[in-house]
Each structure stands twice: as structure tokens, then as C-alpha cells.
Amino acid sequence: MINQESMQVPLSDAGTSLHLRYIHNTEKTGPIVLLLHGAVENGKIFYTHNNKGLAPFLATHGYRCFVLDLRGRGESVPPISRGHDYGQTESIVEDVPTAVEFISNQLGERPQFWVAHSWGGVIMNSVFARFPEEIKYVDACAYFGSKRSLYNNHPEKLLKANVMWYRLAYYYTKKHGYLPAKKLRWGSDSETAKSHRQSAEWAKISPWVDSDDAFDYAYELSDKKLPPTLHIAGVNDKALAQPIDIKMFMKESGIGTQALNIYGKKYGHTHNYGHIDMLTHPNAVTEQFQDVLNWFRDHQR
């Protein structure tokens, strides 16, 4: 039987907390998994309340899953609104480390496996760069459609990135004080003006350097052996994470073991997966979800 419960993790700012969705079976003894969403999204990309999605799938195989909503997203409080001045730097230096410490304090163990969708993979590898001592606790990672800079020139990328993300989004953040992406039907959640600006700067072909303090993530990772990471791409993900984009992210993500699997009918799969349905399509359970499970089993220490 799969159980779900919500936990609120206080942050340093009074009245601000992160939401963790704890999804597990009744035994609560398996390895711990931390799951992180991408931009204009929240943790619901990994689960539904009726136990569909990657996190419940892993829970049925004994894993204890913690799905994190970054500050202001999902069920974290308060939701993003005008005046919130935090961005992805805060996600890297406080949100993810705070969630990891909370899990460690609650269960006496740190997450053994890390999973991300889209921009969440950039945040996670940035955490490894800032806090390399965390690497030794993580056996393996699985990143769905994660890239940093966009190298492809597909027409859909030119629309979604060059027009919408690099131009129109700045107009909306100036107008509203934040990016109301859900209202615009650009995604499932909002972004602060700062988180949009910082992610847009990195999504362009530019150095992987923090705009707050000039921390050079690429330099710090250049000689680091990160946990073995399985990268997942979909053949219908034309705009946001084509194989060339993912390969360039892999290239700047240390010297550890990395693999790239592409999911589509021409590779023997049942569906041509895109950026979102690589995690939400019913057939993912027997294809990429199963491959993630095997990856974790092969690399569990």
C-alpha cells in the first residue's frame, strides 16, 4: 500500500516554508529519493494523489520518495507574488540543502538517489558544485529532459525560448512583479522575476556562473566525479531538451559516469515522448520508469 503525506519545512525567512510530499509504502525501509521539478512547474510532475507518476512507482518498489516544491511553488508557502525577490541562487544555496537536512533529521539518513525534471537537473548539479561534500551520500541520479543552455535551433525552440522566455517573459515580470506562468498557460506554476532572469541567462549559451556572487559552477565541477547519472530525452521534446542540449549539459557536469537514453518509437518504445509526458504518459511506467529503477539498482552501494 502506498501512502502520501505532506510536510512543511521552515526556511530562514519568517512565515516561509518548503513543501515536501512524502510518498512511501507501509514498510518505510527502502532507499530515500529526492525529486525536484523544473521551471514554471512544481512537484506534481512526479505524482498524483491517486498514486500515478514516478514517485508512487518508485514507492511500490520500496523507495521512500520526497518530492520537493521549491520556494513559492506548489504547496510551499507563501505562493510567489509581487515583491518576492528570491531566485535560483536561493534554490541552490538554501532550498535544496534545507530539504536534505530536514529529511536527514527526520529519518536519520540522507537521500541516496536524486531525480530531476528539466531545470531541476541544473539546480541539483549546482548544489553538488556548491556543496561537494553531499556527493558522497548520493549513489545515482536520473534527470528527465535536463539541460542548461539551449543549443538546438528547432522552430519550436525559437518560439518558446527566443520569443517567449527571452523576451515576452521580461514584459510580464515587469507588468506583474513576477511571472504568472500558470495564468499564461506556460506551465504549472509561477516564477519570481529573479528566478526567471537567472534561468534565462543560463539557458542562453553563456558561462555557468552565478549572477549573485560570481560562483563558477562549471569550474567547480570540472574535476568532480558526480554520482552516476541517467539522462532521459524524448524524441518529441523539440524545444527544451534535445539530445544536443543534454549532451552539452553532460559535458560540463563533471567526470562521473553519465548515460543518455532517448525515448521514441524509432528506438523501440511505444510512444514518442515529449518534455512533459516523458513523466506523465501511462506507458512511461514500463519504459523510462523501469530503466530508472534498473539504473538505481545497478548503482546502489
Which pLDDT band, with edges at 50, 70 and 90, does 36 fall under?
A: very high
Q: Indicate whether 27 pLDDT > 90.
A: no
In three-state secondary structure terms, 178 is: strand
Exposure class string for 79-113: b at 16+ Cβ within 10 A, else e = ebeeebebbbbbbbbbbbebbbebbeeeeeeebbb
Distance CA 23, CA 36 (A): 14
Per-residue model confidence as pLDDT tens digits over 92-120: 999 999 999 999 999 999 999 999 999 99
Distance CA 146, CA 217 (A): 16
Q: Which residues contact 63 (CB under 8 A, 6 or more apart)?
A: 24, 30, 31, 32, 33, 113, 296
Query: Looking at residue 116, what is its pLDDT?
Result: 99
Domains, the chain, ordered by start: 2-299 (3.40.50.1820)
Per-residue model confidence as pLDDT tens digits over 173-213: 999 999 999 999 999 999 999 999 999 999 999 999 999 99
Q: Indicate whether 14 pLDDT > 90.
A: no
Query: What CA–CA distances, in Å, run from 53 to 49, 67, 285, 289?
Result: 10, 11, 8, 9
Which pLDDT band, with edges at 50, 70 and 90, does 28 fall under?
A: confident
